[in-house]
Amino acid sequence: IAETKPDIVVPIEAREAALDGLLRSQPALATRITCGGYPYCGVTILSRFPGRALDAGWPVEDGLQGSGWREPRLRLTSAMLAVPLGDGSAMQLPVAAVHVSRNGGVLYNETELAEIAREVRNLPDAERGILAGDFNTDGISYAMRRFEGAVALTRRTHLQPTWPSSDNLFPPPLFGI
């Protein structure tokens, strides 16, 4: 992160200490959008650009059911960022971050992706925004192909699994929406 100096970072399942460490090492990532005012969240948006949270209407869940791990979590965290342009003005850029459950099985996963697709389509200016996250499925699954079609995504990464992420071998997929 220090080398690439990204404009937007979307940590998934990052504990509060990890986020605090990242923010201490990268003070330019001053905008921090989390779950309903919690200091950290299973799905967080960090950015160099100023911004505000968009209320997606999701309730804050209490972690991963049955896993023994508790975290405040939204299925979809969304923000509107003000990206500065060369003429002194700013473009409004919607950014959404998603974390799909892995505990509910195939039918639950498809239902959850359909709900998230509806929320993404309802974001302001969604056609020129960014969606990043952990979809807990592979990019060629039936559920992901239906999801991509439902939100008219342009995939920026191909054939990269989004789970398991604990070994840090696979970067999360990024989409332009």
Q: Report if pTM > 0.85.
A: no
pLDDT confidence of residue 90? 92
| Structure token digits, residue 26 | 């990268």
pLDDT confidence of residue 14? 76
What is the average pLDDT across 128-136? 84
Degrees to nearest 5, angle at CA 120 with 97 and 156: 60
Taking only the tens place, the pLDDT of each residue in 48-102 is: 999 988 865 555 555 544 445 455 566 677 888 999 998 999 999 989 888 887 6
65-87 exposure pattern, b = at least 16 Cβ within 10 A, e = fewer? eeeeeebbbbbbbbbbbbbeeee
